Amino acid sequence: MIRDLVMRRATIDDAAALAEIHMEARAAAMPWLAVVHTPDEVFQYFRQDVIPGSDVWLASSPAGIAGFSARLGSELGHLYVAVPFWQQGIGTALIQMAMLTVPRLELWTFQRNTGARQFYEGHGFTAVAFTDGSENEEREPDVRYRWEGPDDQT
């Protein structure tokens, strides 16, 4: 775990950093994934949709923004760690923060993204559905995960 890690809520001023982390982490973790949006579209998406409409947390270190998560209700729409910060506990810190805020989390990831699947399964998520990818922009088979906290009765 990185020393001096600070968790804080994202602001509109963080949109460019979030978009950059999103694009770079996806490219590094999933080089096979179709790129369906331009960098400017990704930036606008974070600035106009994700930050104003979700509960977005940043993990920040003295070296910069290390990662972020975005949750809307029980849906964890994003959890990305900047490539230089991989394997340093940032993802765990972000997922634990999300787990503290709601009794249940659900998310999608791609079936071929074995690193993400191992990460989520290692944090207590269970695969509940598999698709052929026809419903996502990338047309990549995906998997739905769910985590239920100890107090979740639904």
Q: What is the pLDDT of residues 42-84, one digit of tens each?
A: 999 999 999 999 999 999 999 899 999 999 999 999 999 999 9
Quote the tokens at residue 148. Answer: 């239920």
Phi first, then psi: what are they for 20, rounded to 5°? -65, -45
pLDDT (tens digit per residue) in 98-138: 999 899 999 999 999 999 999 999 999 999 999 999 999 99
Q: Is the pLDDT of residue 8 over 90?
A: yes
Residue 144's SS3 state is strand
Please report, as a single letter, which amino acid is at residue 106: E
pLDDT (tens digit per residue) in 73-96: 999 999 999 999 999 999 999 999
Q: How many CB atoms within 10 Å of residue 60?
A: 21
Cα–Cα distance, 98 to 109 (Å, whole number): 17
Cα–Cα distance, 98 to 92 (Å, whole number): 10
DSSP character at residue 136: S
36: β partners: none
Mean pLDDT of the chain: 95
